[in-house]
A and B are shown apart, each in its own frame.
Chain A
């Protein structure tokens, strides 16, 4: 321990720094004030919406396998290996070749091009000539990547939606927490954030092989159109899409015709432009379904080849719908669908109530404790109370300085810290009394009081700290706020109730030869 003066300056500095950082939270500060940021309030205090999503990762893996099967088809068609079929059952791809002699050639080709697949040749079976599966390392990569990718896309969507200070965080293996301060009616935000936004272009099936809605033909699927569940048109579309939305580089809202409402124009990248150009050239006069998340938005006829890499989606959108659609198309589809697990919205008046009620409990609780300490321990109680005030200042200062979020359980944690912090002083003062009863001098009693109480103070605070850590690990949102307060409160308690009070006694001892003590 340093000199009395050194320690005193250190603690006074801490108090001043705390006052500086917490002032902006409570009042307007002049421009020269060195700290501007007010304390961060949790959604439960300032109002806003909390959403918890689950990323359906298994779906992301299925989607990847589906995409690979399309790539394989294209490769094999280009490689001239004769007739073949590629079928997906779950996460397994089965390839059947008309000309089985080509098996070796196909195998080499696939092994060369698709390094993320493990390939096995089945000789006798009728089901498949070649079986492909994702390598375990690849599955793991998709699992880890899906949440990360979804977070990025969701963040971009929210940024363009315009919310002040949104937070998005991954939680656990496959969950994402979204916090939108100030949003009271999350309907539109939810729609925008949670939408998969998988855009597909599929040809409408034609001719005899298309089948009927009840019995679609091979390679044909039925997809619903827009509108009410009852009066939806059903479409027969080809199972293989021409292309998906990942080739879109930009999308903007355009005023459409009076009957069609707003439209969304999109721009394709080079690969997309080529795919779109080839398909529209080959299939002029056929109808092209534009499918969004499994619903056919529109199915216009291809009047002429579209080679410019631009297109338009119509579907009786109003302006905000069109705006949100352009937003999700620009930022791309989520790697997997999201499921909304939890939604909490706090109105601003409840937050204000909570702050008021929290402050009131704090004031009443603290005053009772402060009064008791003075009543019971006299001089020692006054010093303990000063330490308590310092404790609360340091605790709030730490919140402001490190940018922790204050929540209602966090306020409860501050109130609780007040009740538990005096324990350290009680331990010391009770010990000092015992030493005085043994007839020791004031100085020796204080010395012994601090020394002997120290191990008990440390032990009892470590246990509470440990339970705070476990709580932090368990909880999220407001509960975490409580855990943070509990743990920080223990640190500030040890600093103020043990070390700072000691400075006061040491300072008094250094100034007088004979010390009296009032406990």
Chain B
């Protein structure tokens, strides 16, 4: 694959009179449009990198036997409490020992050992959900009523989780197909396939990261995945739009060169746009608290991977599909 210089040289002379007297405009540029990076040439190496990421994620999912499901999916009970002073996990565990509870885990979620999440596995039977009362009873007996603050109590029966799991997978699959179809209609069938493939890539890598870092997988994770699907395809749209435009102005260039020009010209916008989205997501991740923690994590990974994949995954696929078509013709 041959690299090209992606200089955006003017195709036409200045259109308006008097413009020639003005000095050439100077802008503050982090990424100049004529950087001339050979994206197409880099893509095989990036494909390898993507494969490694995906395999690492899959390996982690197999090794851990899935995800660290929150009670939205796994069913069970969550009690989040806050103490006025730091308290040890051992003390809390001790408080719950007397109660008949299955698979209790206690996790410190604050910064100063005051806030804890207590989880209890779902009852084997689909009988009533009563574990939260037992947890409260145990805590009350040990620490005394009112000496701590119950922040939230959630109990989910095992049946809800199964239904959610089905709905969640279906909606992510559906979203991916819709995005692919939209791109196929707006541009071309090949762009649609490439966009959908890039989305599958993004979702897989994000899921892998969630598993690797052992981040809780809950309802907000699904919301994040769907947002990633919608966001990641943005860059693909912008780049495809530019490829189409460049094809019109530079008919004689090979397709690989056109792709490189389009990617270089849109690189600044791609980086800035993803940059601002990543800034706000980072703010959510670091400052947003425990409720949006797993949500912000998934978004952060997904936005970074989504930007990367628009450049290094979807566009090479378009090129590859184009090459196959040219060979057949």
Q: Does A368 contact B (CB under 8 A)?
A: yes
Q: Does B50 contact A (CB under 8 A)?
A: no
Closest Cβ neighbor of A366 among chain B residues = B280
Q: Does B238 contact A (CB under 8 A)?
A: yes
Instruction: Please tell me which stretch of A101-109, A257-265, A436-444, A504-512 contacts chain B, meaning at least 4 of its Cβ atoms lie within 8 angstroms of it.
Output: A436-444
Q: Would A427 and B238 count as touching, CB distance under 8 A? A: yes
A436–B10 alpha-carbon span in the complex (Å) = 11
Write out, one digit per residue, whether chain B residues 251-291 have a CB within 8 A of any chain A CB (1) or not (0). 00000000000000100110011011111111110111101
Residue of B33, B175, B288 near A434 (CB, 8 A) is: B33
Closest Cβ neighbor of A480 among chain B residues = B223
Q: Does B28 contact A (CB under 8 A)?
A: yes
Closest Cβ neighbor of B289 among chain A residues = A357
A372–B273 alpha-carbon span in the complex (Å) = 11
Q: Would B152 and A350 count as touching, CB distance under 8 A? A: yes
Say how far A141's CB is from chain B's closest CB, in angstroms: 25
Closest Cβ neighbor of A437 among chain B residues = B25
Say how far B200's CB is from chain A's closest CB, in angstroms: 15
Q: Which residues of B contact A145 (CB under 8 A)?
A: none
Q: Would B160 and A342 count as touching, CB distance under 8 A? A: yes
A456-470: which residues lie under 8 A (CB-CB) from chain B? 456, 459-460, 462-468, 470
Write out, one digit per residue, whether chain A residues 221-264 have a CB within 8 A of any chain B CB (1) or not (0). 00000000000000000000000000000000000000000000
A-B contacts counted at CB < 8 A amount to 243
Given that A343-B153, A369-B276, A369-B280 are contacting pairs, would A438 and B14 also be in contact in the complex, using a CB cutoff of 8 Å? yes
Q: Which residues of B contact A467 (CB under 8 A)?
A: 175, 178-179, 226-227, 229-231
Closest Cβ neighbor of B156 among chain A residues = A342
Q: Does A358 contact B (CB under 8 A)?
A: yes
Q: Would B223 and A471 count as touching, CB distance under 8 A? A: yes
Given that A344-B154, A360-B287, A361-B283 are contacting pairs, would A463 and B237 also be in contact in the complex, using a CB cutoff of 8 Å? yes
Q: Would B280 and A418 count as touching, CB distance under 8 A? A: yes
Say how far B157's CB is from chain A's closest CB, in angstroms: 5
Write out, one digit per residue, whether chain A residues 340-371 have a CB within 8 A of any chain B CB (1) or not (0). 11111111011001100110111011101100
Instruction: Please tell me which stretch of B15-23, B36-44, B204-212 contacts chain A, meaning at least 4 of its Cβ atoms lie within 8 angstroms of it.
Output: B15-23
Q: Which residues of A contact B174 (CB under 8 A)?
A: 470
Q: Which residues of A contact B284 (CB under 8 A)?
A: 361, 365, 412, 415-416
Q: Which of B13, B24, B28, B223 has the most CB of A within 10 A?
A: B223
Residue of B220, B237, B265, B280 near A459 (CB, 8 A) is: B237
Residue of B12, B153, B282 near A345 (CB, 8 A) is: B153
Measured as residues with beta carbon below 8 angstroms from the partner, the interface class of chain A is 35 or more
Given that A341-B156, A369-B276, A436-B25 are contacting pairs, would A409 and B292 also be in contact in the complex, using a CB cutoff of 8 Å? yes
Q: Does A408 contact B (CB under 8 A)?
A: yes
Say how far B329's CB is from chain A's closest CB, in angstroms: 28
Q: Which of B133, B167, B219, B230 has the most CB of A within 10 A?
A: B230
Q: Which residues of B contact A455 (CB under 8 A)?
A: 241
A341–B76 alpha-carbon span in the complex (Å) = 11
Q: Does B129 contact A (CB under 8 A)?
A: yes
Q: Would A420 and B155 count as touching, CB distance under 8 A? A: no
Closest Cβ neighbor of A344 among chain B residues = B154
Q: Which of A345, A415, A419 has the most CB of B within 10 A?
A: A419
Q: Would B226 and A408 count as touching, CB distance under 8 A? A: no
Q: Would A426 and B269 count as touching, CB distance under 8 A? A: yes
Q: Would B280 and A416 count as touching, CB distance under 8 A? A: yes
Q: Which residues of B contact A365 (CB under 8 A)?
A: 279-284
Say how far A203's CB is from chain B's closest CB, in angstroms: 31
A303–B82 alpha-carbon span in the complex (Å) = 59
A69–B288 alpha-carbon span in the complex (Å) = 60
Q: Does B234 contact A (CB under 8 A)?
A: yes
A258–B237 alpha-carbon span in the complex (Å) = 78
Closest Cβ neighbor of A460 among chain B residues = B234
Closest Cβ neighbor of A421 among chain B residues = B276
Write out, one digit per residue, whether chain B residues 126-142 have a CB within 8 A of any chain A CB (1) or not (0). 00110011000000000
Q: Would B223 and A420 count as touching, CB distance under 8 A? A: no
Q: Would A426 and B273 count as touching, CB distance under 8 A? A: yes
A465–B233 alpha-carbon span in the complex (Å) = 12
Write out, one digit per residue, whether chain B residues 1-35 have a CB within 8 A of any chain A CB (1) or not (0). 00000001010111110111010110110100100
Q: Does B217 contact A (CB under 8 A)?
A: no
Q: Would A433 and B25 count as touching, CB distance under 8 A? A: yes
Residue of A377, A463, A474 near B167 (CB, 8 A) is: A474
Residue of B25, B129, B156, B287 near A364 (CB, 8 A) is: B287
- B interface residues with partner A (beta carbon < 8 Å): 8, 10, 12-16, 18-20, 22, 24-25, 27-28, 30, 33, 80, 82, 128-129, 132-133, 149-157, 159-160, 167-168, 171, 174-175, 178-179, 182, 186, 219-220, 222-223, 226-227, 229-231, 233-234, 237-238, 241, 265, 268-269, 272-273, 275-284, 286-289, 291-292, 295-296, 299
| Pairs across A and B, CB under 8 Å, 15 listed | A343-B156, A358-B289, A368-B279, A377-B28, A416-B227, A434-B265, A437-B25, A440-B16, A456-B238, A466-B179, A467-B227, A471-B223, A475-B222, A479-B220, A483-B223
Given A344-B152, A486-B230, 5 more contacts at CB 8 Å?
A340-B129, A419-B281, A423-B277, A439-B13, A470-B174
